[in-house]
């Protein structure tokens, strides 16, 4: 018997919180819900939060999918790009892009879980700590000109 449990998304639900509250991995959640991208869920959707999954059929979850949930508008991107180009030289822009790629790759590698073991809060905590450690190392490196703090200061201006 293949038991499945469903949850109806409410207007104020955060898809990540629903996944964590039901103690299910992101990959398994995607599999049980037809590999739909996380940013596509909306209020009123019925989502499967428990059931049996064939792990070889689970598609990798990547950082781009998470970032799309809070994707900036076209106008915000234009303003941001204009500000960056007017404030930074090409070497600095390249370094900033490298940091962005490092953070995205770290998140991708941390979330890419093909393991067959059941979801555990401890494993999830370790993975999040690894992401935090990587981002913190960028902030603490004295040679790193694009710390998250600096990026946030630029964003606030």
DSSP label at residue 71 = P
Whether residues 1 and 76 share a domain: the answer is no
Task: Clarify whether residues 81 and 124 are in a common domain.
Answer: yes
Q: Is residue 40 part of a domain?
A: yes
Asked whether residue 87 falls in the same domain as residue 149, the answer is yes
- Residue range of the domain that includes 109: 72-157
Domain co-membership, 91 together with 141: yes
In a domain, 106, yes or no: yes
Whole-structure pTM value: 0.41
Together in a domain, 52 and 6: yes
Same domain, 53 and 113: no
Domain total for the chain? 2
Assigned domain for 125 exists:
yes
Do residues 83 and 148 both lie within one domain?
yes
71 backbone dihedrals φ, ψ, rounded to 5°: -65, 130
Q: What is the DSSP string of 81-144?
A: HHHHHHHS-HHHHHHHHHHHHHHHHHHHHHH-----SPP-HHHHHHHHHHHHHHHHHHHH-TT-
The residues that bridge with 5 in the sheet, in sequence order, are 50
Q: 101 and 28, same structural domain?
A: no
In a structure prediction context, what are the per-residue pLDDT tens digits for the chain, which is 157 residues long? 466 787 788 887 777 778 777 777 777 777 777 777 777 778 888 887 887 766 555 555 555 555 555 556 677 667 777 777 777 777 777 777 777 777 777 777 666 555 566 667 777 778 778 877 877 777 666 555 566 655 655 555 4
Asked if residue 103 and residue 50 are part of one domain, the reply reads no
Inter-residue contact 18 to 62 (CB < 8 Å) = no
In this structure, the answer to whether residues 146 and 80 fall within a common structural domain is yes
Do 94 and 115 reside in the same domain of the chain?
A: yes
Joined tokens for residue 106: 């770290």
């Amino acid at each position: 018997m293949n038991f499945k449990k469903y949850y109806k998304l409410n207007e104020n639900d955060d898809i990540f919180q629903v996944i964590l509250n039901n103690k299910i991995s992101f990959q398994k959640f995607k599999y049980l819900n037809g590999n739909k991208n996380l940013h596509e869920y909306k209020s009123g959707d019925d989502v499967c939060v428990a059931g049996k999954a064939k792990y070889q059929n689970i598609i990798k979850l990547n950082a781009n999918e998470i970032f799309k949930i809070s994707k900036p508008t076209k106008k915000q991107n234009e303003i941001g790009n204009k500000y960056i180009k007017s404030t930074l030289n090409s070497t600095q822009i390249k370094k900033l892009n490298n940091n962005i790629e490092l953070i995205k790759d770290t998140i991708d590698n941390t979330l890419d879980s093909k393991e067959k073991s059941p979801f555990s809060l401890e494993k999830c905590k370790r993975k999040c700590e690894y992401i935090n450690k990587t981002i913190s190392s960028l902030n603490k490196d004295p040679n790193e000109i694009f710390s998250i703090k600096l990026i946030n200061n630029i964003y606030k201006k």
